[in-house]
Amino acid sequence: MKRTALFVFVAVCALSALSLAEDKSKPSATMSPPGEFGKTTTQSPSTTTHTPNTTTHAPNTTTHAPNTTTHAPNTTTHAPNTTTSKPTTTPKPPITPSPTPTAPTKMTVGNYTLKNKAGICLMAKMALQIRLATSKPNGTFIVQPNKTSATGNCDERKANLTLTFPEGHITFMFNKSTEDNMGYVNALYFNISYPLSAGGNGRYTAKNESVHLFAAKIGNSYSCKNESLFMGNGLYLDVTQSQMQAFNLTKSGEFGRPDKCAADQPDYRVAIAVGVVLLVLILIVVVVYLVGRRRRTDGYQSL
């Protein structure tokens, strides 16, 4: 019983203490002083508040920057080997323009001689040109003596003369006929590289064999002012102011008596024809005169 009474007493004391504590925590009532009628005075409650201590310690924001030093990557690149072998191509031959004929130049007389052990065995003096005669525009090639050399040989019955120049050569073959007592050219060749026609290849070869050209008696020379020799395929060899001798030259190196070509020999046929006509006219006049005189004589009678 005593324990129970004691327990109740302690509980009561505790409750009283709690009640007192709550009363102290409530604000005390305030009385307004008396004032005029109709005026109401209100006192705002104390709004004083104690700001809690907001001082905060900032966290330690010191940060160590990461090591940003970066090593640039090695960008050195080796260029790929671009050396490529070109395919082997056969070089094309240069395009040669079609040759065109050139205007003829002045023909010049050249002097050519050959010698053997006995001395001068062949002499030739002439101007030469090669000509092409076709329906197309044509040109001529003239041999220039200052650019021409003479070579060949001669013996008792045969001789040959070759004239060589930058564009080609011309060869004369001489023969001696003891039966006819004549010397002459029995073969003729030439080979040149020169544009004689428009669009041609510029190379021309010709030969004329078994001929009887530039004939003269043994010991005499052949002479002609102008002649043209047909070589075939429209090609001609023009020989101007020529005089040549291949056999029995004098020791002094002079030409023998000239045997002129037919074109240079005087033509007496016209003179003979004119003489015959004049003679006939004279005879007719004489006959008419005699007949007329005889008639007149018969008309008179003798006394």
pLDDT > 60? residue 102:
no
Write down the pLDDT at residue 63. Answer: 42
The encoded tokens of residue 284 equal 């007719």
Percent of the chain clearing pLDDT 90 (strictly above): 34
Mean pLDDT calculated for residue range 158-186: 93
Stretch among 15-19, 99-103, 152-156, 174-178 having the lowest mean pLDDT: 99-103
Instruction: For residue 147, give its domain range.
Output: 110-261
Is 275 in a helix, a strand, or coil?
helix
Write down the pLDDT at residue 248. Answer: 86
Write down the pLDDT at residue 109. Answer: 94
Write down the pLDDT at residue 267. Answer: 67
pLDDT tens figures, 75-96: 544 455 554 555 555 555 555 4
Confidence category of residue 133, pLDDT binned at 50, 70, 90 = confident
Confidence category of residue 32, pLDDT binned at 50, 70, 90 = very low
pTM above 0.75, yes or no: no
Residue 287 lies in a domain: no
Residue 38 lies in a domain: no
Write down the pLDDT at residue 56. Answer: 42
Confidence category of residue 197, pLDDT binned at 50, 70, 90 = confident
pLDDT > 60? residue 114:
yes
Residue 65 lies in a domain: no
Q: In sequence order, which residues have a C-beta less than 8 Å from that of residue 104 and are 6 or more positions away?
A: 129, 139, 140, 142
Under 8 Å between Cβ of 212 and 180: no
CATH number at residue 136: 2.40.160.110
Under 8 Å between Cβ of 296 and 289: no
Mean pLDDT calculated for residue range 115-125: 89
Give which of 152, 173, 169, 163 is closest to 126, Cα–Cα.
163
Write down the pLDDT at residue 224. Answer: 94
Q: Provide the β-strand partners of residue 259.
A: 222
Mean pLDDT calculated for residue range 138-148: 91
**CA–CA separation, 258 vs 255, rounded Å?**
8
pLDDT tens figures, 34-65: 444 334 333 444 434 444 444 444 444 444 44
Residue 269 lies in a domain: no
Mean pLDDT calculated for residue range 212-234: 92
Stretch among 106-110, 141-145, 270-274, 282-286 having the lowest mean pLDDT: 270-274
pLDDT tens figures, 240-274: 999 999 988 877 778 989 999 988 777 667 778 88
Q: In sequence order, which residues have a C-beta less than 8 Å from that of residue 164 and are 6 or more positions away?
A: 148, 149, 150, 151
Mean pLDDT calculated for residue range 164-192: 93
Write down the pLDDT at residue 118. Answer: 81
Number of structural domains in the chain: 1
Write down the pLDDT at residue 45. Answer: 41
Task: Pick left, alpha or beta for residue 21 (phi over 0 → left; psi -120 to 50 → alpha; otherwise beta).
Answer: alpha
Task: Pick left, alpha or beta for residue 152 (phi over 0 → left; psi -120 to 50 → alpha; otherwise beta).
Answer: left
Residue 254 lies in a domain: yes
**CA–CA separation, 214 vs 37, rounded Å?**
179
Residue 267 lies in a domain: no
Residue 276 lies in a domain: no
Residue 119 lies in a domain: yes
Under 8 Å between Cβ of 122 and 154: yes
